[in-house]
Amino acid sequence: MPDRLLVVGGDAAGMSAASQARRRRSVDQLEIIAFERGNHTSYSACGIPYLVGGLVGELDDLVVRTPEVFRDRFDIDARTGHEVVAIDPDERAVTVRRLDNDSEYRETYDHLVIATGAEPVRPSLPGIDARGIHGVQTLDDAVKVERSLSEGARRAVIVGGGYIGLEMAEAFLLRGLEVTLVEQAPQPMVTLDPEMGALVADALRQMGVKLHLNIAVSGFEEAGGRVSSVVTEEGDIPADVVVLGTGTRPAAGLARESGIPVGETGGIRTDARMRTEIEGVWAAGDCVETFHRISRRAVAIALGTHANKQGRVAGINLGGGYATFPGVVGTAVSKICSVEVARTGLNEGQAEAAGLRFESVVVESTTRAGYYPGAKKMTMKLLAEVGTGRLLGAQIVGEEGAAKRIDVFATALWNEMTVEEIQEMDLSYAPPFSPVWDPVLIAARKAAELNAPARPDDV
């Protein structure tokens, strides 16, 4: 009799775990069943804005592997339209509901991987369930947004200016809609510090997005069976389609109800091998919390890369191998029309919360040599620890060629480099790629100068 692995959630983390386990355990050794309540497995949710915006032609382009591929090529039984509604860790069994006929059945397991992902935060506001108000979390959401557009929506309102919200703003602009962003904070992209967020706000305005900052949404009005406006303390904003970019939280309800420990972040707690505190139960992806290597605290960050890596680690381990997930440094990147935004490490608020003393510099530079055609403006902000000069975080707002430089800072953070060390590095230079001092080096140098102890000759 082979062991049996059950996977709850058929997207990045779950299916990575399943695939890795299969690589190490043949079908004679391990039976694998994955349950997915939606209609798709293993897809790029990050691609949804580009699908809606028309940059990606087909929904199928976002699907990495279909259930058929998993079955035929990997001997993994991926069951869409199946929702796991209960876990019984003592009996090592789950209860599964078939969404097509609402019937339920039990399956037992030797190993269980919980990969239930994240769920959009849906503020409990009057009218929020009106037609035309969408989260953007699953491919099924994409289909619903598309339906709103095909029904003739002209005015889009984005509630919440995080990555997904702004990427959807781009999508609607590309589709020719009027786009309004309502954000409770004084700036979009609250994971950036205010002066960097202000650059994003300026860019959004230039693209034609109407910004309502510092304004809370109090509800939604309906007309003719669908949303007609977003109600705010400063008046109503007409809307034919609304996207909730109000963030996500780990979808850890099932785990919590089943007695699987969940941390203060709301994410399932695991060790570095992705084991929960319950024997035989693993967890991976947006539903878990992980270790932030700079703040040294638990964080819950919903991101496909982490989900893929964590799923892979879980799959290797439960397949009998050894792997660990070493935590994150909080790297993120996004593009909204011509503006690129990236960050890694801690911003000012996060550094304060972690009890770190820091200094910061903001440096303007260009993506290429100033004289080279297509050189674009970019602004970088660095945070460095007072005294040690250790890099704590970096933020970039710029145009084409700016944002991917964040990976150098992410690598520097990973290695706990000081800004003094960073400024010395041998980074690539040629006029089509950077000024002779790459902006990364300039920013590090400015930060190092701030941090340098006064020397006798400087007095």
Catalytic annotation, residues: 46
By beta-carbon proximity to a copy of itself, the closer residue of 134 and 309 is 309
Q: Compute the least distance from the CB of residue 445 to a copy of itself, in Å.
A: 9
Residue 30 in tokens: 């391990």
By beta-carbon proximity to a copy of itself, the closer residue of 172 and 220 is 172
Q: Compute the least distance from the CB of residue 130 to a copy of itself, in Å.
A: 30
> What are the start-end ranges of the E strands in 160-216?
178-183, 210-213
> What are the start-end ranges of the E strands in 23-140?
30-36, 76-80, 82-88, 93-98, 104-108, 111-114, 118-120, 133-134
Surface-to-core class of residue 85, CB atoms within 10 Å of its CB (0-12 exposed, 13-18 middle, 19+ buried): middle
The Cβ of residue 416 has, within 10 Å, a number of other Cβ atoms equal to: 12
> What are the start-end ranges of the E strands in 13-61?
30-36
Site of tokens 């040629």: 430
CA 248 from chain centre, in angstroms, equals 9
By beta-carbon proximity to a copy of itself, the closer residue of 234 and 271 is 271
Give 286's contacts (C-beta < 8 A, 6+ positions apart): 13, 117, 118, 248, 250, 251, 300, 302, 303, 306, 307
The Cβ of residue 46 has, within 10 Å, a number of other Cβ atoms equal to: 16
What is the Cα–Cα distance from 397 to 191, expressed in whole angstroms?
12
Q: What is the chain's Cα-based Rg?
A: 24
For Cα atoms 437, 443, 449, give the angle at the middle one, nearest 5 degrees: 105
What is the Cα–Cα distance from 192 to 380, expressed in whole angstroms?
11
Q: Compute the least distance from the CB of residue 203 to a copy of itself, in Å.
A: 15
The Cβ of residue 110 has, within 10 Å, a number of other Cβ atoms equal to: 15
Q: Compute the least distance from the CB of residue 448 to a copy of itself, in Å.
A: 10
Query: Letter for the amino acid at 274?
Result: M
Give 411's contacts (C-beta < 8 A, 6+ positions apart): none
Q: Compute the least distance from the CB of residue 29 to a copy of itself, in Å.
A: 11
What is the Cα–Cα distance from 305 to 375, expressed in whole angstroms?
30
Q: Compute the least distance from the CB of residue 315 to a copy of itself, in Å.
A: 13
Largest CA distance in the chain: 81
By beta-carbon proximity to a copy of itself, the closer residue of 40 and 309 is 309
